[in-house]
A and B are shown apart, each in its own frame.
Chain A
């Protein structure tokens, strides 16, 4: 077992689906055009901000969807070259661009459709210089990429960008193996859900409900 169990908590009572976390991720990681590692979905109707039910008997909340950094990641099992792997120290599911051969087995294996992105072409950008943090790995053609839990920020003792920017204070991040951590305290007191629990992947992203 990893030394640490880094987890992300998203409070669905506070999340208003504002997309600030998605944009923070996009800029921080200098994501190419049309690549989003973190997305927001309205739980309700089929369109953005559309509730479920018939007016006025309605309900709506949001979920954010990115790599779930599973305890039991389906992607790791299928990667033929070890490019996607679980970091033994933190439990973060990582992606080594240099090893990735672009076979996209991980994308088919992952039940969380869309959290892994594949650069079919040479990555293209909206601006002609790199935005965001200088320490993020360059994006590569024919390579799978996804949320890193902002690995480059963790290394500096910072929280992932999406956590820092959440003006709703809906996101929490920390070590669930540490009983004294804030995330452990929240998980002890708040009801929470994981996405697709029946898949057996045991995500490290929890939705507080």
Chain B
């Protein structure tokens, strides 16, 4: 470790606190105001150099995308400060945080990749030689040509993390698809935070991967439920909205196994057992049904509750079953989202309209007859129907049957939440309007799809969704709609996307879905998969280990650049211009170039141009950045909102919705086939096709099921008895800022937070170095006692780089098992043990 010391030294906290008593201080009246303050400059600061200020956007994956003033003196960014949003003249979005403030070190610190490098030692040894850009591009593209000739075009693959929200050089950029589709490469998609998406979107439809009422609407809720979201660390920028809501009288309920700073401020903290959120939500629904307190008009009019379900197929009974010919209509194709969840080449030659088959569900009307949903006057929530000998029940009855398995007295044993608390929570949730903000907690186990499915189903029972103060969803990452993905040069992808979770198996077998599918080269940009993906040893050995050529473009050295055969120096965000189109602010934001790329670095956009030329397509990317940005946002639907690229540049930021605050699902208008909340999933699908099979019946309704590993009695319980959870600490954004010397003075080394009882039982003292281990790997860190950690769990602040650990790294311990429906990395679904580490 470094010689940095913690700034706490010298402070004796207790001595301050025990003597701090309440006082009331009479302030002297009658003095003049603060405004006319004239302070003499009595130390001579010298003549300051001229300072120029640029508009930058901090754009890592905390989702904040805060606007920053970039203060440039003598061609150096000497300071970053918050810059007001023109779209929010009330100042409600102006903000910056400790990471946004410490950029100068990220830019100028010793950890920058300065020039292209070629590996000369063993992979991972960190031994490289400096090469020129010409040599680097020639080496990469010669190898790619050889690999494609030898193994097929698909053998070149590319992937990313979430290190830049830009539309040109970042994760929202179509430019990577322009180039890699041209050479018919394989796109590897990261598998993160998708369980929530699957669980929610299969009920309400797709309005984005993660949508919820804007945080400024929290204050309109009577109660704000926060389920497993560590807002006070991971989304610092949202905390003031929660505090503002509390000031306005909103009750805060935090459901979290860990006492976070947020939980410490809650009106009610519910310390739930990890991975049991689905059981808690289902049991709250039990109370609602049991007390006959559900919102029946909403269920009837806006959900699939009255739909009859065939017991033989599990599908809805449709009018075609009853001999009514379906109607086929053409509807306008949906707008394009800036979300990066698909290959942007998928929109090439996309039809303007799509065909929709109208085969209405059959329901029981009040008169006892079965009718089409559109013809029934009072569809019944309960009832049965015999369809030619096939018994049919309403979807609501099936849901109730499911819910009735979770009485509070039973759920309390699953969740370790007292039955009376479950009843109290149900009453709070009924007394709306309420907002339920789901975080990444329950999403991080293999049962996460069902936790989200349960929560959104509760909104169907209460009807609290789609209006001010009422909603359920995942905050607060939003991608704009209505952009154009088909920029000049875009072609469709020849090969389907591959989930990062499927990659290890492909690399081990050279097969994908049973067919030959060798991959021999991976290009990584805006990401650090070695540090941030699960099961590092598997990734390093099976994925990287089987590559002929592993190329990483980054602005700084990371655990991933360490294994690269070629490292390319990418420019820092502030050394290039870009357009941010994925943002919690829901604004397009233009980020100016403040300084030239340092050393020999180039923007990712420039690097792509060089790679394209090297592969024989020198004219493929031949427009200027501004022209591509214009092509992305100058669309009819955005123009209709008054948004153009020129105006974005002029205003710096432009809000992309017609109304403020944005509230999804207004007027109970959902994006499902029926336009209703379909809590009964007629046709369950997977988040990502990896050739898997799954139990359709299980997916039709929300259930509580055990996670894979993180529960008492799981297959590895005999060896490992601690659930390993992570937090995304405020000192980093994933692995970004991990080498920032300013922040490292505050947070100098990896720690593992332990409940003292668990530590003492293992002979571990506060401050001991400990080895955390399981069958997948190990990691050494300093144990810190923390009474806020649930006994039986440990929490590690994530994404230290391996050189900062005495041994191992956190991601070695994480399972790469995944739920076949969510196809999601399950970061918390791990059991470990821990022991004192005595080695150096």
Contact = CB atoms under 8 A, between A and B. Distances in A.
Interface residues of A, number: 97
B80 to A, nearest CB: 8
B11 A39 contact: yes
Contacts of A109: none
Contact of A157 (B8, B37, B746): B37
A14 B31 contact: no
Contact of B96 (A126, A131, A167, A206): A167
Interface stretch (B70-78, B168-176, B711-719): B70-78
Nearest to A135: B45
Given A20-B236, A197-B21, A113 B97 contact: no
Contact of A193 (B4, B21, B33, B239): B21
Nearest to B767: A47
Contacts of A113: 10-12, 15
Interface in A72-123: 87, 89-90, 96-98, 112-114
Contacts of A136: 45
A125 to B, nearest CB: 10
B784 A47 contact: yes
A137 B45 contact: yes
Interface residues of B, number: 93
A44 to B, nearest CB: 8
A24 B10 contact: no
A130 B79 CA distance: 10
Interface in B239-262: 239-240, 243-244, 246, 259-262
B31 A180 contact: no
B79 to A, nearest CB: 5
B261 A60 contact: yes
A5 B31 contact: yes
Given A3-B31, A13-B243, A197 B788 contact: no
B255 to A, nearest CB: 12
Given A65-B16, A112-B16, A129-B78, A177 B7 contact: no
B742 A65 contact: no
Given A45-B787, A168-B239, A51 B48 contact: no
B275 to A, nearest CB: 17
B17 A43 contact: yes
A154 B793 CA distance: 48
B367 interface: no
B51 interface: yes
> Taking chain A's interface residues, is the majority helix, strand, or loop, or is none over half, making it mixed?
loop
A48 B236 CA distance: 17
B791 interface: yes
Nearest to A28: B79
Contacts of A165: 81-82, 96-97, 101
- Central interface residue in B22, B232, B240, B264, by most chain A CB within 10 Å: B264
Interface stretch (B104-112, B485-493, B542-550): B104-112
A134 B71 CA distance: 11
A39 B243 contact: no
Given A50-B785, A98-B43, A34 B96 contact: no
B572 to A, nearest CB: 14
Given A60-B264, A176-B27, A191 B32 contact: no
A49 B261 contact: yes
Contacts of B5: 34
Contacts of B271: 55-56
A127 B105 contact: yes
B788 A5 contact: no
A192 B784 contact: no
B243 to A, nearest CB: 5
A197 B102 CA distance: 35
A147 B79 CA distance: 19
Given A55-B787, A175-B33, A209-B22, A17 B7 contact: no
B623 interface: no
A137 to B, nearest CB: 5
Contact of B786 (A47, A89, A114, A134): A47
Contacts of A181: 33-34
A23 B742 contact: yes
Interface string B742-773: 11011100000101000000000010000000
A152 B43 CA distance: 10
Contact of B261 (A17, A46, A132): A17
12 contacts: A4-B31, A4-B37, A5-B27, A49-B261, A51-B786, A87-B39, A89-B37, A96-B43, A129-B76, A176-B28, A181-B34, A194-B20
Given A54-B787, A98-B43, 8 more contacts: A16-B265, A19-B98, A43-B13, A89-B38, A96-B43, A126-B742, A133-B79, A176-B28
Interface of B: 4-5, 7-13, 15-17, 19-25, 27-35, 37-43, 45-46, 48-49, 51, 73-74, 76, 78-82, 95-98, 101-102, 104-105, 108-109, 232, 236-237, 239-240, 243-244, 246, 259-262, 264-265, 269, 271, 730-731, 741-743, 745-747, 753, 755, 766, 784-791
